[in-house]
C-alpha cells in the first residue's frame, strides 16, 4: 500500500544540537589539479564540482583525528549545552555511515567515550543520509512512551579514504566518461561530526518542541546510489528523478496532516546545487529560507542536517517553525517539524 508513515510527538524537545568541523580544508581546485590528467584525456573541463554541484570546499580530519573521537567530543559538548549529566542518559543512537569495522557497533565506542551508564541502551542506525532524523524519531517515541528520559543522537563521518580511493581510481588507464560521472558524487563528500540531546518538553520549557513528521519509501530505486569505502557509485539522472518523485509524493500527502508551505527554515540534506534547486522547485518552498552548508563543507552524510541546523540555530527566534528534510540512498525520505 502506498502512503506516508506519519509520527506525532506529545512531549519531546530538542535540548541541544552541536557540530564539530574537521580542521583540514580540501578545495575543489585542489581535486581538479589531482585529476588534471584524466580531465584532459576525457576532455572534461575543470570546475565541474563548483559549477555543477556548488561544492567549493570540503573538510578532512588531521592525521591523529578519527571520526569516532570527534563524535565523542560533539556528544560531550551537546550534553554540556543541554545541562544533562551523562548518568541521566537512557539511550545513545549512532547514525554514522562511516565505520572502522563491521562489529562491534560504533555506538559502543561512543557510549564508553561519553561515560554513559550501563543502563543506557546503545546501538547504530544505518539508513544512509537519513539516519540522524530517523534516530531522532525513534528516540522521541521512546521518550514519549516513558521508557527513557534523555537520548543522545550522534554522528561522525570520515570521507578521507573514499576521497583518496576515488581520485586514485579515476586516474587509472581505461577510465571512461561514464565511469568518471558515476563517481562524481564521491568527490563532494566531506568529514564532520554532530550530536543532539532530546528530552521531555515539560521538564525543559526552553527546549525546542519536536512535533513529528513523515517518512516514505521508494525502495525500487535501491541500486541507484551504492557506496562503500572504495567509492560511491551513482546513476545521477535516475537518482534525481526518483528522489524528486518520492519527495513530491511525501510532501503532497503530508498536507492532510501538516502545513509546511510557510516554514521559517527548511533544513535540507546538503548535497548539491542541483539537488537543492530541484527540491525547492518541486515543493515550492522559499529558497531564501533554505540555509546551505555544502558549498564549504560538502556532503557530510547523515551529519549534514544537524550540522546545518547547528550553524543556523543562532539566527532562529523562539516560535520559529523549522522543517528537517532529506532523501537518503535506497530511496527513503523523511521530514520532521520542530518549533524553536
- Catalytically active residues are 103, 129
301: number of CA atoms within 13 Å, CB side?
A: 30
Residues in Cβ contact with 32 at an 8 Å cutoff, skipping those fewer than 6 apart:
39, 46, 47, 49
Q: What are the residue ranges of helices labelled H in 149-272?
A: 160-170, 177-182, 236-254
| Cβ–Cβ < 8 Å for 125, 95 | yes
| Cβ–Cβ < 8 Å for 89, 150 | yes
Distance CA 111, CA 68 (A): 11
**End-to-end alpha carbon distance in the chain:** 34
| Of 311, 40, 282, 291, nearest in space to 180 by CA | 40
H or E element in which residue 156 lies: strand 150-157
Amino acid at each position: 500500500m502506498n502512503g506516508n508513515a506519519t509520527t506525532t510527538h506529545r512531549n519531546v524537545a530538542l535540548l541541544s544540537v552541536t557540530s564539530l568541523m574537521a580542521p583540514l580544508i580540501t578545495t575543489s581546485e585542489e581535486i581538479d589539479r589531482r585529476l588534471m590528467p584524466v580531465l584532459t584525456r576525457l576532455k572534461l573541463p575543470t570546475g565541474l564540482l563548483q559549477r555543477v554541484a556548488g561544492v567549493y570546499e570540503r573538510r578532512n580530519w588531521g592525521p591523529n583525528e578519527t571520526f569516532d573521537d570527534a563524535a565523542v567530543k560533539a556528544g560531550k559538548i551537546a550534553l554540556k549545552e543541554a545541562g544533562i549529566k551523562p548518568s541521566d542518559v537512557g539511550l545513545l543512537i549512532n547514525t554514522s555511515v562511516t565505520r572502522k569495522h563491521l562489529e562491534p557497533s560504533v555506538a559502543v565506542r561512543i557510549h564508553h567515550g561519553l561515560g554513559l551508564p550501563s543502563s543506557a541502551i546503545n546501538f547504530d542506525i544505518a539508513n544512509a543520509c537519513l539516519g540522524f532524523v530517523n534516530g531522532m524519531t525513534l528516540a522521541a517515541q521512546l521518550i514519549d512512551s516513558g521508557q527513557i528520559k534523555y537520548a543522545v543522537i550522534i554522528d561522525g563521518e570520515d570521507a578521507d579514504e573514499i576521497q583518496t580511493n576515488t581520485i586514485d581510481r579515476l586516474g587509472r588507464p581505461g577510465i571512461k566518461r561514464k565511469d568518471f560521472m558515476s563517481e562524481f558524487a564521491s568527490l563532494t563528500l566531506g568529514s564532520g561530526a554532530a550530536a543532539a540531546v532530546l528530552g521531555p518538553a515539560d521538564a525543559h520549557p526552553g527546549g525546542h518542541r519536536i512535533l513529528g513528521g513523515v517518512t516514505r519509501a521508494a525502495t525500487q530505486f535501491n541500486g541507484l546510489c551504492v557506496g562503500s569505502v572504495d567509492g560511491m557509485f551513482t546513476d545521477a539522472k535516475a537518482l534525481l528523478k526518483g528522489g524528486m518523485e518520492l519527495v513530491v509524493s511525501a510532501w503532497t500527502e503530508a498536507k492532510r496532516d501538516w502545513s509546511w508551505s510557510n516554514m521559517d527554515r527548511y533544513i535540507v540534506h546538503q548535497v548539491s546545487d542541483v539537488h537543492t534547486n530541484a527540491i525547492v522547485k518541486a515543493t515550492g518552498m522559499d529558497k531564501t529560507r533554505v540555509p546551505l552548508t555544502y558549498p564549504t563543507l560538502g556532503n557530510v552524510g547523515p551529519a549534514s542536517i544537524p550540522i546545518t541546523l547547528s550553524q543556523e540555530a543562532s539566527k532562529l527566534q523562539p516560535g520559529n517553525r523549522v522543517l528537517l528534510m532529506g532523501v537518503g540512498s535506497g530511496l527513503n525520505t523523511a521530514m520532521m517539524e520542530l518549533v524553536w
